[in-house]
Chain A
Amino acid sequence: MTFPSLTAYQADALTEVVNVSMGTSVSELSELFNCHVSMTPPTLNVAKVTDIFSYIGDPDEETYTILSRFFGEMNGNFIFLFRPTKQDEQWRRFLQGQDALHTLKQIADTVCQAFTASFAAFTNLTVQKDHSQAAFDLLGAIVEYGFMEHTLLSDDLLFSQGTFSLNDFSLTGNLLFFPSPESLSLLFEKLGVNDDNH
């Protein structure tokens, strides 16, 4: 499958599933940390590998990152890029605390768990979340790892990108969702929007 052949129906259906799954994740997050979490609806993008950073950001930016994989009937990666909403004292204290990476990982795990559960329920696919890994590194180095496996199958990358903010932590999380190209046929079949139908 090449991504540019994605039909409008397929793009709409996938956007809807991702939107619902992210909404569920944000609710879980709000409950876990007992705070208000705001979110911008995720967008669905198809980009050439060579153009990917014009969508995501400066590859030289150093960010706190969590990478989490999911597998089963569908596989791929989640990448969380955590940034401060403002470089204030609250953010500085948070990062200096011993539990900063642990907290970020907890946020990422909560979102991934809820996202994959919602995604699986919506699509009737068996999908499980793998363990996650944390890093503080260059955005370019992190993100290329997240899609490198997919470039074995395609030059184009399909990904969604959404943002949520935890104001109590002065924290914004950018969630990138990279489904594997080989998973998409089955996904669209389950959603009833495979090529034969539309």
Chain B
Amino acid sequence: MTTIKQIGISDAFVTNGEVTLKTSGLGSCVAVILYDKRAQVGGMAHIMLPETPQNLHLSNISNNPNKYCDTGIEHLYERMLQAGADKHRLIGALLGGAEMFPFQNSSILHIGKRNIEESLRILASYQIPVVFQETGGSKGRTVSFDAVSGELSLYTTGETPIVFTI
């Protein structure tokens, strides 16, 4: 029986078993999914910000790698390989990165767009093809992914849910 693993904000999980990975209420954050279909190893990260601040070591912020695109994707990639995935077979999916509210005088202006760009840049640096991308817009999304079947389900607010096999 498949169990559901809920991925929270700044969280990630990798599975090679009958687990459906789910993250709910994605707004400007992005969900990055990595998958090795033959090994049936899948992973998902719910990432909030584009890049790790340079002065992180001087601040009170903990070094949670899943919070940032740069460290979050690297961390997910390494955990995928540890779980038995082959780096040459990895494919990726990217979802989220909406602009929920267009406030102009904000340090997080266009944060969704920046999350998308940074994620795509890092996935390209690992030569991981992005086979499914549903990003941008201004609506929240909920995503689930089954690592055995490769089935990805997406609900976007106000739209009919879609299912896609990667």
Contacts and interface: CB of A to CB of B under 8 A. Distances in A.
Report if A and B associate in a common complex. Answer: yes
Interface of A: 1-2, 49-53, 58-60, 62, 67, 69, 71, 130, 133, 135-145, 148-149, 151-155
Contacts of A136: 157-158
A152 B100 contact: no
B64 interface: yes
Contacts, number: 106
Given A151-B49, A155-B64, A135 B10 contact: no
Given A67-B101, A142-B100, A148 B28 contact: yes
Given A60-B142, A133-B102, A154-B60, A141 B10 contact: no
Contacts of A155: 60-62, 64
Interface string B137-166: 001111000000000000001100000000
A53 B111 CA distance: 21
Given A149-B107, A151-B49, A152-B53, A144 B8 contact: no
Interface residues of B, number: 35
B141 A141 contact: yes
Task: Please report whether the interface of chain B is mostly helix, strand, loop or mixed according to DSSP.
Answer: loop
Contacts of B102: 133
Contact of B108 (A1, A49, A148): A148
Given A50-B11, A148-B48, A151-B67, A139 B25 contact: yes
B8 A50 contact: yes
Interface in B40-73: 48-49, 53, 59-62, 64, 67
Contact of B10 (A1, A49, A53, A67): A49
B110 to A, nearest CB: 12
B92 interface: no
A183 B157 CA distance: 34
Contacts of A143: 25
Given A148-B48, A148-B108, A152-B107, A135 B28 contact: no
Contact of A138 (B105, B108, B140): B140
Given A141-B141, A148-B28, A155-B61, 8 more contacts: A50-B10, A60-B25, A130-B103, A135-B100, A138-B141, A148-B49, A155-B60, A155-B62
Contacts of A141: 25-28, 98, 100, 139-141, 157
A173 to B, nearest CB: 18
10 contacts: A60-B24, A60-B25, A130-B103, A133-B102, A136-B158, A138-B24, A139-B25, A142-B27, A144-B29, A152-B49
B9 interface: yes
Contacts of A53: 8, 25
Nearest to A58: B24
Contact of B27 (A62, A145, A151): A145
